Amino acid sequence: MGKGRTFASETRRLTDERTGASIRQMTDHPAISHNLYFSNPSWTPDGKTIVFTSYRCGKPDLFKMDDAAGTITQLTDTEGFGGFAACPSRDGQRVFYNAGGQVRAVDIDTLEESVLADFGSGSAGGCSLSSDGARLVTSLHRDGASAVVAVETDGSGFRVVREPPRAVGHVQVCPVDPDLILYSSDVNQRMWEVRIDGSAERALFAHDRSVWITHETFLGHSDEVMFVHWPYALRGIRAGEDEDRTIASFNAWHPSPRADGSLIVCDTTCPDVGLQLIDPKTGNHETLCFPGSSNGGSQWAKTVPEDDRKTRPETYGPQWSHPHPSFSPDGKRVIYTSDRTGVSQIYVVDVPV
């Protein structure tokens, strides 16, 4: 078993009993499979190849799937892969991912791998790719400290952007300004922005720890950040500004936009009312389908976040029990994960015209 191993199509067609939505179950293996994190695309830009994570070889590794034929190929055979922390390149030829203290790239055709950055004993977080494809941003954790790091995709090097006096979590680059970086921190102040040269660091949407802010990402090709005020609303705020807006008032969980920002898809929990399609201009939303996921995590039934220092693995997950929906490049399909069968599998649902 290892990279290059192939699997026949596991696809089968389903229909959502309540909405009538057309669904394809894309994986059907006794081991966990899940799509990439909701803030990164799970398809290559041409929409022909799905990139996903599977544990079918005993640990999390990257795989590719022909969207039409359903055939599957293992891309990596490595230790320390983060599972969700990967993203396809802009030309669809490579997939960037983290493995322990390294940021790597794998060619989806030749399976050739390269190390773009080696942080030694440190641990790299999830990757976010700039709009021109030239740079990745990620988090670095080592020696009890955290940093925001930029990595050149041509392998020419990396640089530490900022080592703030706080935790660094989910790092993303702005779609319309490659020099603007968004990162998450702890429950005391969730969202921060900083320039690529380490300057102009500021809190985005100032709040105290009684306000639970989570799951931020950019709203399409813009500098507006949409974020969850759990469990009350999906909100939005422009980078560099102080005034926010309410996009939709319900328990939106993991929001992900169409590339053009014309529509948002999100999952829901506590209560689970299915995947919702949201109009970002009006806030109107309708149910796309019901994933039937177990939505693990004891904390999601609460309204105040648990202290990060006391968080247990079961507090917010396991992550593969969450749908984490996101759109295809053409915006006509949504990919998500569900463990409705007892094991997490990948599903694709058609979006109504």
- pLDDT value of residue 121: 85
Question: What's the pTM value of the predicted model, to 2 decimals?
Answer: 0.96
- Given pLDDT bands bounded at 50, 70 and 90, which one contains residue 307? confident
Checking if the pLDDT of 1 tops 80, the result is no
Checking if the pLDDT of 308 tops 90, the result is no
Residues 277, 291 contacting (CB under 8 angstroms):
no
- Given pLDDT bands bounded at 50, 70 and 90, which one contains residue 306? confident
Question: Mean pLDDT score of the chain, rounded to an integer?
Answer: 96
Residue 290's φ and ψ, nearest 5 degrees, are -115, 105
Checking if the pLDDT of 82 tops 90, the result is no
- pLDDT value of residue 205: 98
Strands of 264-268's sheet in order across: 252-257, 264-268, 275-278, 285-289
Percentage of residues in the chain with pLDDT exceeding 70? 98
Checking if the pLDDT of 168 tops 90, the result is yes
Percentage of residues in the chain with pLDDT exceeding 90? 92
From the list 330, 348, 327, the residue with the least C-alpha distance to 255 is 327
> For the segment 175-234, what is each residue's pLDDT rounded down to a tens digit?
999 999 999 999 999 999 999 999 999 999 999 999 999 999 999 999 999 999 999 999
- pLDDT value of residue 311: 63
- Given pLDDT bands bounded at 50, 70 and 90, which one contains residue 335? very high
> Once rounded to an integer, what is the mean pLDDT over residues 118-145?
94
Q: Which two tokens stand for residue 27?
A: 């994986």
- Given pLDDT bands bounded at 50, 70 and 90, which one contains residue 110? very high
List the single range of 46-50, 80-84, 283-287 with lowest mean pLDDT. 80-84
Contacts 24+ apart (CB under 8 A), 153-157: 153/89, 153/96, 153/105, 153/116, 153/129, 155/105, 155/114, 155/115, 155/116, 157/117
- Given pLDDT bands bounded at 50, 70 and 90, which one contains residue 85? confident
Checking if the pLDDT of 341 tops 80, the result is yes
- Given pLDDT bands bounded at 50, 70 and 90, which one contains residue 256? very high
Residues 351, 332 contacting (CB under 8 angstroms):
yes
Residue 129's φ and ψ, nearest 5 degrees, are -105, 135
